[in-house]
């Protein structure tokens, strides 16, 4: 098979590596990819949200399947575009159509979906400019901290958690009346604060059947001890020790089954990944959010633990025979530590030469924001590389990642030295 992967991050490098290990692969293409994917696949320098360019690539390289990494092309309807095109309609796309992608594209839609299908989540109400005063009144019925969410995609910045009622009212006004997050905050979801420990569970579904993928915990803050600004993710661990069988059974019964059934009942033919952000509140799982793709850097620990052939699983998704596919996961722990550009997640410089990553032993280097220039690998983004390792324990695995990180350098390289600190 020839497979095209859309995206350019560590997640996409992890997909590329995993797919490249299948003996069903003939050629692999990544658009646009990075300096890591170019070593094991062919990078195609196009924009994944330019569907005409995607089509051209698919036809030119006789692509048999498309795997979508990030949410943007899904929310913009890449899967629908394929189905509506005579030449593309029989080429499977791994990732939901526009209707399913609304689970991530609209917080209001996802809250309505959860309410309708009795899926545990924080109590909420949604407001617009015209109902601003009602929004302020609703805030008065809640206790601090207050959670405000822009309805639409806001590059991970659309959620505010505020300690004072006055501040919450002021921010609500900013979002609704002054378009703090542009169009994305023309509707705002206000919800109850959930007090617990966060983790994520990933599901691969063909719309009827599903496989529960390994759980993972992501470290989102830039600073050690979970302090400072939010990032795309500074590291991840899988499995999550406190997500034991009893807890995961609750997740499957109360959340995964009703989600997959609910999609089917609502006539949403969903074929792809569901990333369920959860809060463990005293042993009970609540959904914080759905994403319609894999997480980054969670993918860099989840996929390496899957021992089955990912192409085979994807074929099951495409033909709705996922139930017949074998699926195995190693019991070993995987950890990943993200190397980032100094300054990230605020302004940072690019174009720094990266050295030493080719001397890494006993870890996997997943490239994220990297590119090639004059035979060197240089930085091209905030998150630069994820260093993944296996171990019998979190500590063993992390030790390998950190030992290898000592060999890697680029100007102003930064990373968190305490990934997993709360779990060890």
Return residues touching ligand AMP (CB under 6 A).
122, 147, 149, 159, 191, 193-194, 198, 277, 288-289
Beta-strand relationship, 27-32 and 2-7:
parallel
d(CA 74, CA 98): 6
Nearest CB to ligand AMP, comparing residues 193 and 402: 193
Q: List Cα–Cα distances, 272 to 95, 197, 359, in angstroms.
A: 4, 26, 35
Q: Which is nearer to ligand GLY, 127 or 181 (CB)?
A: 181
Among the listed ranges 73-81, 251-259, 288-296, 410-418, the one in contact with ligand GLY (CB under 6 A) is 288-296
Helices 165-176 + 132-141 axis angle, to 10: 150
Which CB sits closer to ligand AMP, 17 or 149?
149
Separation of CA 59 from chain center:
28
Q: Work out how close the CB of 137 gets to ligand GLY at its nearest, in angstroms, rounded to a whole number.
A: 32
Helix (H) or strand (E) holding 317: helix 310-318
* Beta-strand relationship, 333-341 and 235-238: antiparallel
Which does residue 295 touch among ligand AMP, ligand GLY, none (CB within 5 to 8 A, set by kind)?
A: ligand GLY
Which does residue 5 touch among ligand GLY, ligand AMP, none (CB within 5 to 8 A, set by kind)?
Answer: none
Q: Which is nearer to ligand AMP, 37 or 200 (CB)?
A: 200
- Looking at 40-196, which runs of residues are DSSP E strands? 42-43, 65-68, 93-94, 124-128, 146-150, 159-162, 187-191
Looking at the Cβ atoms of 77 and 277, the one nearer to ligand AMP is 277
Partner that binds at residue 7, options ligand AMP, ligand GLY, none, CB closer than 5 to 8 Å by kind: none
Structure tokens at 201: 């569970």
Say how far apart CA 415 and CA 336 lie, in whole Å: 11
Out of 99, 104, 218, 309, which residue is the one contacting ligand GLY (CB under 6 A)?
218
- 296 scored as a contact of ligand GLY (CB under 6 A): yes
Decide which of ligand AMP, ligand GLY, none touches 288; Cβ closer than 5 to 8 Å per partner kind: ligand AMP
110 touching ligand GLY, by CB under 6 A: no
Out of ligand AMP, ligand GLY, none, which partner does residue 108 contact, by CB within 5 to 8 A per kind? none
Question: For residue 109, what are its two tokens?
Answer: 């839609």
State both tokens at 270: 């969903």
Among 8, 205, 291, 370, binds ligand GLY (CB under 6 A): 291
Please state the closest distance from residue 243 (CB atom) to ligand AMP, in A: 16
* Closest to 123 (Cα-Cα) out of 196, 188, 189, 187: 189
Out of ligand GLY, ligand AMP, none, what residue 191 binds, judged by CB under 5 to 8 A for its kind, is: ligand AMP
The DSSP bridge pattern shows strands 272-281 and 376-379 to be: unpaired
CB of 200 to ligand GLY, least distance (A): 8
In this chain, which of 108, 298, 309, 315 binds ligand GLY, going by CB under 6 A?
Answer: 298
Contact 207, 270 (CB under 8 A): yes
CA distances from residue 378 to 261, 280, 366, 369 in whole angstroms, order as listed: 46, 40, 14, 9
Torsion (CA) 65, 68, 72, 77 in degrees, nearest 10: 30
Q: Binding of ligand GLY at residue 37 (CB under 6 A)? A: no
Encoded tokens for 264: 């089917």
Number of chain residues interacting with ligand GLY (CB under 6 A): 7
Which of ligand GLY, ligand AMP, none does 356 bind, CB closer than 5 to 8 A by kind? none
Q: Give least dist CB 289 to ligand AMP, A.
A: 4
Per CB under 6 A, residues contacting ligand GLY are 218, 232-233, 291, 295-296, 298
């Amino acid at each position: 098979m020839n497979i095209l992967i859309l995206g350019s991050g560590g997640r996409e490098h992890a997909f590329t590596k995993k797919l490249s290990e299948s003996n069903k692969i003939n050629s692999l293409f990544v658009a646009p990819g990075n300096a890591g994917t170019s070593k094991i696949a062919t990078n195609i320098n196009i924009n994944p949200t330019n569907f005409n360019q995607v089509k051209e690539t698919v036809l030119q390289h006789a692509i048999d399947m498309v795997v979508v990494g990030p949410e943007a092309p899904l929310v913009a309807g890449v899967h629908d575009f394929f189905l509506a095109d005579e030449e593309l309609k029989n080429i499977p796309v791994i990732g939901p159509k526009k209707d399913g992608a609304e689970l991530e594209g609209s917080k209001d839609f996802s809250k309505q979906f959860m309410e309708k299908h009795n899926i545990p989540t924080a109590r909420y109400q949604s407001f617009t400019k015209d109902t601003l005063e009602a929004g302020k009144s609703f805030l008065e019925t809640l206790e601090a901290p207050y959670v405000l969410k822009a309805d639409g995609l806001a590059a991970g910045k659309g959620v505010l958690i505020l300690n004072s009622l006055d501040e919450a009212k002021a921010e609500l006004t900013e979002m609704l009346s002054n378009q703090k997050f542009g169009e994305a905050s023309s509707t705002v979801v206000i919800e109850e604060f959930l007090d617990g420990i966060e983790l994520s569970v990933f599901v691969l579904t063909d719309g009827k059947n599903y496989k529960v993928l390994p759980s993972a915990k992501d470290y989102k803050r830039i600073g050690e001890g979970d302090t400072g600004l939010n990032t795309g993710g500074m590291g991840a661990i899988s499995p999550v020790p406190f997500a034991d069988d009893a807890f995961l059974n609750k997740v499957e019964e109360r959340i995964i089954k009703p989600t997959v059934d609910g999609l089917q009942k609502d006539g949403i033919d969903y074929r792809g990944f569901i990333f369920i952000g959860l809060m463990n509140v005293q042993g009970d799982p609540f959904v914080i959010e759905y994403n319609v793709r894999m997480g980054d850097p969670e993918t860099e620990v989840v996929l390496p633990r899957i021992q089955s052939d990912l192409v085979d699983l994807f074929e099951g998704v495409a033909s709705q025979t996922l139930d017949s596919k074998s699926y195995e996961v190693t019991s070993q722990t995987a950890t990943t530590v993200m190397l980032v550009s100094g300054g990230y997640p605020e302004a940072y410089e690019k174009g720094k030469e990266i050295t030493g990553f080719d001397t890494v032993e006993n870890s996997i280097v997943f490239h994220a924001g990297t590119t090639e220039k004059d035979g060197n690998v240089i930085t091209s983004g905030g998150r630069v590389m994820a260093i993944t390792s296996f171990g019998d324990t979190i500590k063993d695995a992390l030790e390998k990642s950190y030992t290898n990180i000592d060999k890697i350098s680029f100007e102003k390289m930064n990373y968190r030295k305490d990934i997993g600190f709360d779990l060890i």
